């Protein structure tokens, strides 16, 4: 099989063209629009649907479908009533490093906006998943994740009150929770993590500021401290159009 000499590593094989050679019209238009993006640069507005329709001799609905896919892939983003070229995705490492560290490494400014901090008895499902005792007091900390003031995710953390009894008094909600734990002399031992794709609920989409149809990356994490006892249970939604995940593997 022949491949273009200039095909980038990681690109779809043969640019995604099926072996039978019949390419859906919207995909051909999508490929041609994508080729424009590098020349336009991040934040630049793209031509209108009407202009693109005339340029590529395609129906408006065909152009609209191509643009929808590029938005879902994070290549474009909606801005006001128009559409502009999106910046590169944030690459979040799969490690015990915090969200704050991951975003800062990419030259972005991390932040969090508090949604709520509540205390309640540990319910049975949470106890079964983490090894906490049913009914023991736990904190629930919910925050919107920010990168350069752009809402990019939603983080929900459950932690035993016994670990951080003064969380409601000592913790600054827009700061790193992991840095706070470190100041309390609490160190991570290990964690189990699971990633899946989901759609946000109407409430989650409203908090993150995205359409409900935008795919999300959902990360579940159950962490233990160095003493082997439960430390936290985290449920984090990341915008699928703004994030990718990285991991370094060794044999």
> Could you tell me whether strands 90-93 and 243-246 are parallel, antiparallel, or unpaired per DSSP bridges?
parallel
pLDDT surpasses 60 at 9: no
> Could you tell me whether strands 188-199 and 215-225 are parallel, antiparallel, or unpaired per DSSP bridges?
antiparallel
Gap between the Cα atoms of 188 and 225, Å rounded? 4
Lowest mean pLDDT among 31-40, 100-109, 204-213: 100-109
Lowest mean pLDDT among 66-70, 124-128, 133-137, 204-208: 66-70
Gap between the Cα atoms of 96 and 248, Å rounded? 13
pLDDT of residue 93: 63
Beta bridge partners of 216: 198, 239
* Mean pLDDT calculated for residue range 101-124: 85
* Mean pLDDT calculated for residue range 83-107: 71
Gap between the Cα atoms of 221 and 235, Å rounded? 7
pLDDT averaged over every residue in the chain: 84
Gap between the Cα atoms of 207 and 156, Å rounded? 12
pTM: 0.70
Lowest mean pLDDT among 71-75, 185-189, 214-218: 71-75
- Interior CA angle at 49 toward 58 and 14, to 5°? 55
Question: Of how many residues is the chain composed?
Answer: 251
pLDDT surpasses 60 at 160: yes
Could you tell me the pLDDT band of residue 21, with boundaries at 50, 70 and 90? low
Lowest mean pLDDT among 5-19, 133-147, 185-199: 5-19
pLDDT surpasses 60 at 3: no
pLDDT surpasses 60 at 240: yes
| Strand, coil or helix: 15 | helix
Widest distance between CA atoms in the chain: 65
Gap between the Cα atoms of 240 and 223, Å rounded? 24
pLDDT of residue 60: 92
pLDDT of residue 151: 92
- Interior CA angle at 230 toward 101 and 226, to 5°? 65
pLDDT surpasses 70 at 243: yes
pLDDT surpasses 70 at 16: no
C-alpha distances out from residue 25 to 8, 22, 112, Å: 23, 9, 42
Residues 6+ apart with CB under 8 A from 11: none
Lowest mean pLDDT among 2-6, 160-164, 209-213, 229-233: 2-6
Report the percentage of the chain scoring pLDDT > 70.
86
* Mean pLDDT calculated for residue range 37-45: 84
């Amino acid at each position: 099989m022949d491949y273009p000499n200039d095909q980038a590593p990681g690109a779809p094989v043969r640019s995604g063209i099926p072996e039978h050679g019949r390419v859906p019209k919207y995909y051909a238009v999508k490929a041609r629009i994508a080729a424009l993006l590098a020349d336009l640069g991040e934040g630049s507005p793209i031509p209108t649907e009407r202009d693109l329709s005339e340029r590529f001799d395609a129906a408006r609905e065909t152009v609209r479908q191509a643009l929808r896919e590029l938005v879902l892939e994070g290549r474009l983003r909606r801005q006001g009533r128009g559409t502009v070229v999106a910046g590169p995705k944030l690459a979040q490492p799969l490690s015990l490093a915090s969200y704050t560290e991951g975003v800062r490494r990419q030259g972005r400014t991390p932040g969090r906006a508090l949604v709520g901090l509540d205390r309640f008895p540990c319910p049975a499902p949470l106890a079964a998943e983490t090894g906490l005792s049913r009914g023991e007091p736990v904190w629930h900390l919910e925050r919107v994740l920010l990168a350069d003031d752009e809402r990019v995710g939603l983080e929900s953390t459950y932690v035993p009150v016994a670990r951080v009894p003064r969380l409601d008094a000592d913790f600054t909600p827009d700061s790193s929770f992991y840095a706070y734990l470190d100041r309390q002399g609490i160190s991570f031992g290990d964690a189990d993590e699971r990633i899946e794709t989901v759609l946000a609920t109407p409430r989650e989409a409203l908090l993150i500021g995205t359409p409900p149809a935008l795919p999300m990356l959902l990360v579940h994490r159950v962490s233990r401290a160095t003493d082997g006892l439960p430390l936290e249970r985290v449920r984090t939604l990341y915008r699928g159009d703004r994030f990718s995940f990285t991991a370094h593997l060794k044999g």
